Amino acid sequence: MLRSISTKAFFAILAGLIFLIALIGIVREYAQQRTRLRQHAATAAQGDPRRGEAMFIQYGCGSCHSVKGVRTATGMVGPPLDGVALRVIIGGHLANTPANMEKWIRDPQHYAPGTAMPDLDVGGEDARDITAFLYTRAK
């Protein structure tokens, strides 16, 4: 026996379906935007963001800095690094560019003597990749 559905219930179901379709579209756009951001970061920093995350973990950066979504990045000594690509200044006085970020990562004591950030003897390729990774971290 087929029961008819009320007009009110029909519109409630229709509204729910429209909401679900919109939500799927938003999630899809977000995923595409993240992919474009990673590609842009890799191009700007001439590095590999995925490898940069591994290097960020390997060098122990998360013992001083926090980054959402990175399991080992819970430090409270240095600033949180989510959204670092949007900042104007890094290291207290350097313009925020990929080249300056690499310099800061490789030799922070040279650019800000006495800073709490230690010199971890990060190589050039690793610094480029870490920079690319950090530039993908949205706030």
Which sequence spans correspond to the domains of the chain? 7-135
Arithmetic mean of pLDDT, 63-75: 94
pTM of the model: 0.73
1-5, 89-93, 95-99: the lowest-pLDDT one? 1-5
Reading the block at residue 79, the tokens are: 């600033």
Report whether pLDDT(116) > 60.
yes
Domain 7-135 has CATH 1.10.760.10: yes
Report whether pLDDT(124) > 60.
yes
Place of tokens 């429209």: 18
Sequence-separated contacts (24+) of 85-91 with Cβ below 8 Å = 85/41, 85/134, 85/135, 85/136, 85/137, 86/139, 91/115, 91/117
Report whether pLDDT(11) > 70.
yes
Q: Is 82 helix (H, G, I), strand (E, B) or coil?
A: coil
Position 83 scores a pLDDT of 86
Hey, how many other C-beta atoms are within 10 angstroms of the C-beta on 72? 13
Report whether pLDDT(42) > 80.
no
Arithmetic mean of pLDDT, 93-106: 94
Position 1 scores a pLDDT of 47
Position 3 scores a pLDDT of 64
Position 36 scores a pLDDT of 73
